[in-house]
Amino acid sequence: MPERPATSTTETTETTIRSASPMTTTMRMTTGVARAATDWGDDMPTDDIATLAIYSDHLSAAAVTAALGVEPTSIHEIGDARRRSRSRRAGSHSPTQYTHSLWEHTVRGDTTGAGVADAAGSTSIRLLVDVFREKREQLETLRADYELRLWWSAISSSTQAPFVFDAELIRGLAIIGCDLYGTAYLEADGIDAVL
């Protein structure tokens, strides 16, 4: 296994502090310089997808569209017919209608490298945050009556797939204000093969 590069380099300096008191203190300070995400090279996820999902067991998904002013990429209402899964066995007693509404907005990372793809392996979640960055008040209102979740999945060619959610991204995630459920998969035929 190739040796993983260090995630930071450090420099230690000593500073002597003199004060009006008879004591002199020597402090050791260590400063780190973070390595760029690109130092991990091909280990970073190359295909990622992020979804804001908003659920309710008694309210409409259409009301979410009206409140946010954002079109969903997928939607179903309470009572809508469920699509029959190919893997569902004959005689299964699972419901044939949805018992909850679901509003989803999904964004896929740029796998071509021609657009906004970043070296941190988190392109889709950054794009999703950009869609909802100005929707703090609307999301807060929805949060009172709906369940909000963020879903993020990524593909990597490495069994130890590093990714970076930097401080700016974390501030954006805080605006959305819900739990993030994430998974990094070992390379397959693209993310559609595992979702």
What is the tens place of the pLDDT at every residue in 23-61?
Answer: 333 333 323 323 344 455 556 677 789 999 999 999 999
- 3-class DSSP assignment, residue 26: strand
14 falls within a domain: yes
Question: What's the pLDDT score for residue 96?
Answer: 87
The helices-and-strands tally (H runs, E runs) of the chain is 4, 7
- Do 132 and 75 sit in the same domain of this protein? yes
What's the pLDDT band for 72 if we cut at 50, 70, 90?
A: very high
One domain for residues 146 and 159: yes
Q: Which residue has the tokens 């459920």?
A: 181
- Does 164 fall in a domain? yes
Q: Which two tokens stand for residue 59?
A: 């309210």
Nearest to 102 by CA among 59, 69, 144, 68: 59
Percent of the chain having pLDDT more than 90? 45
139: in domain: yes
Radius of gyration of the chain (CA): 23
Q: Which residue has 């679901």 as its token pair?
A: 102
Q: Are residues 18 and 108 in the same domain?
A: no
Query: What integer is the mean pLDDT of 81-86?
Result: 73
Instruction: Kindly state whether residue 158 falls inside one of the protein's structural domains.
Output: yes
Question: Is residue 30 packed enough to be buried (19+ CB in 10 Å), middle (13-18) or exposed (0-12)?
Answer: exposed
What average pLDDT does range 8-29 have in this prediction? 36
Nearest CA-CA partner of 154 in 104, 116, 106, 108: 108
Q: Is residue 107 part of a domain?
A: yes
Contacts of 85 (CB under 8 A, 6+ apart): none
In a domain, 68, yes or no: yes
Asked if 18 and 112 sit in the same domain, the reply is no
User: Is 140 found in the same domain as 104?
Assistant: yes
Please say if the pLDDT value at position 64 is more than 60. Answer: yes
pLDDT of residue 170: 93
Does residue 188 share a domain with residue 112?
yes
By residue range, what is the domain housing residue 28? 8-37
d(CA 50, CA 172): 14
Q: Is residue 90 included in any domain, yes or no?
A: no
Q: Are residues 165 and 111 in the same domain?
A: yes
Q: What are 195's strand-pairing partners?
A: none
Domain shared by 105 and 50, yes or no? yes
If asked whether residues 76 and 30 sit together in one domain, one would say no
Q: What is the pTM of this model?
A: 0.68
* Residue 3 placed within a domain: no
Q: Mean per-residue pLDDT for 93-101? A: 82
Return d(Cα 117, Cα 48) in angstroms, integer.
Answer: 10
Q: Could you give the dihedral angle defined by the CA atoms of residues 149, 52, 123 and 180, in that order, rounded to the nearest 10 degrees? A: 0
Domain shared by 49 and 27, yes or no: no
* pLDDT value of residue 26: 32
* Same domain assignment for residues 25 and 103: no
Number of separate domains in the chain? 2
* 108 and 19 within one domain: no
Cβ–Cβ < 8 Å for 191, 155: yes
Strand partners, 143: none
- Give the best-scoring range by mean pLDDT among 38-47, 80-89, 106-115, 145-154: 145-154
